[in-house]
């Protein structure tokens, strides 16, 4: 894998990354983390090479999932913070980054011997205050999502994690779909992506456990052919799975656009392309 684009890293982090701060006994820890299936080990290695620090470990709960982690305030401040200070995260994840950043500098400012106990306790209390409102503990009241998208590499990185190329092939119907899902709080970001591609729809997903999820969807075949596919041909995907998804998706679209009407053999061929895309 060639050198990673910085905006791609930020987009990929918006989709797949975590900024964590937690208590461990009397200590306070911070970690930057990105998890991927074992097929994407090359991507994790590229991230590790880019930042020049951290570890790749096997997830204890799922042996096919690996996690790239950077621990400690020193590495976080020297490697992670400069990137995300320069290139802004576009999802609600930027709120966690903001608190994560503050915790990193508070941890780095270790207590001096002459500090009174009151000052030491105040420092710990401030760290714990940030830890207590991060990630799934956060109150998003007043949160304003970004409403403008200005970088193709960010969009590619974001699609690697939260996007999907789908083909549903039956005897009676063939449905091709490109979609990106997000929490409803980032609806305006999906609208910005819709404006970027100049096609598709944004709508809430209804049903069990999905009431807080919204989706940007493109199903019109001409839009997929003329707008979505050319974008990802010009700005290639990097992860193994998403590359294979896209190539199979593109091949099926090409057949649909050039063979009319479809024969039974054509439908079988489309099914084989989609089912064997990871072979």
* pLDDT tens-digit readout, 141-172: 878 878 789 999 999 999 999 999 999 998 88
Q: Are residues 171 and 267 in the same domain?
A: yes
Nearest to 8 by CA among 113, 161, 119: 161
Q: Identify which has the larger pLDDT, 32 or 4.
A: 32
pLDDT at 29: 86
The model's confidence at residue 86, banded by pLDDT at 50, 70 and 90, is very high
Q: How confident is the model at residue 110 (pLDDT cuts 50, 70, 90)?
A: confident
* The pair of three-digit structure tokens given for residue 236, joined into one six-digit string: 């290639």
Same domain for 157 and 113:
no
Closest CA to 150 of 193, 191, 214, 97: 193
Asked if residue 191 is part of any domain, the answer here is: yes
pTM of the model: 0.90
For residues 254 and 225, what is the distance between their CA atoms, to the nearest angstrom? 8
**Residue 208 domain flag:** yes
Same domain, 31 and 80: yes
Stated as kind and residue range, the H or E segment containing 273 is helix 264-275
* Shared domain check, 119 and 239: no
Query: Of the candidates 107, 137, 167, which is a domain's last residue?
Result: 137
Burial call 77-94: b when 16+ CB within 10 Å, e when fewer: bebbbeebeebebbbbbb
CATH of the domain at 194: 3.10.28.10
Q: What does the pLDDT look like over 240-271, one tens digit per residue?
A: 999 999 999 999 999 999 988 888 888 899 99
- Mind listing the pLDDT tens digit for each residue in 180-232? 999 999 999 999 999 999 999 999 988 756 568 999 999 999 999 999 999 99
In a shared domain, residues 84 and 16 = yes
169 and 217 part of one domain: yes
| Structure token digits, residue 215 | 């989706």
pLDDT at residue 278, as a whole number: 86
In a domain, 251, yes or no: yes
**Sequence-ordered list of residues with C-beta below 8 angstroms from that of 279, at least 6 positions apart, any chain:** none
pLDDT over threshold 50, residue 1:
no
- Residue 128 confidence (pLDDT): 75
Would you state the structure tokens that stand for residue 77, as one six-digit string? 């401040």
Mind listing the pLDDT tens digit for each residue in 28-77?
889 999 999 999 999 999 999 999 999 999 976 767 899 999 999 999 99
pLDDT of 234: 98
Q: Do residues 215 and 108 both lie within one domain?
A: no
Q: Which domain holds residue 126?
A: 6-137
């Amino acid at each position: 894998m060639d050198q990673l684009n910085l905006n791609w890293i930020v987009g990929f982090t918006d989709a797949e990354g975590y900024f964590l701060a937690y208590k461990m006994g009397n200590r306070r820890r911070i970690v930057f983390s990105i998890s991927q299936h074992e097929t994407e080990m090359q991507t994790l290695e590229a991230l590790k090479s880019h930042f020049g620090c951290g570890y790749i470990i096997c997830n204890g709960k799922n042996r096919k999932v690996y996690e790239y982690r950077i621990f400690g305030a020193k590495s976080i401040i020297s490697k992670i913070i400069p990137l995300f200070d320069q290139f802004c995260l576009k999802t609600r994840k930027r709120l966690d980054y903001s608190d994560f950043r503050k915790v990193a500098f508070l941890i780095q400012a270790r207590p001096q011997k002459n500090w009174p106990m009151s000052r030491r306790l105040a420092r710990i209390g401030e760290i714990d205050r940030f830890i207590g409102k991060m990630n799934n503990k956060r109150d998003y009241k007043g949160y304003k999502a970004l409403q403008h998208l200005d970088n193709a590499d960010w969009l590619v990185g974001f699609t690697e994690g939260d996007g999907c190329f789908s083909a549903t092939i039956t005897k009676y119907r063939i449905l091709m779909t490109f979609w990106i899902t997000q929490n409803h709080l980032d609806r305006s970001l999906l609208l910005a992506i819709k404006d970027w591609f100049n096609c598709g729809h944004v709508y809430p997903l209804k049903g069990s456990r999905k009431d807080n999820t919204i989706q940007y969807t493109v199903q019109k075949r001409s839009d997929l052919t003329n707008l979505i596919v050319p974008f990802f041909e010009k700005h290639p995907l990097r992860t193994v799975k998403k590359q294979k998804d896209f190539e199979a998706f593109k091949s099926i679209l090409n057949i649909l656009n050039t063979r009319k009407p479809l024969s039974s053999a054509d439908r079988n061929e489309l099914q084989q392309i989609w089912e064997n895309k990871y072979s």
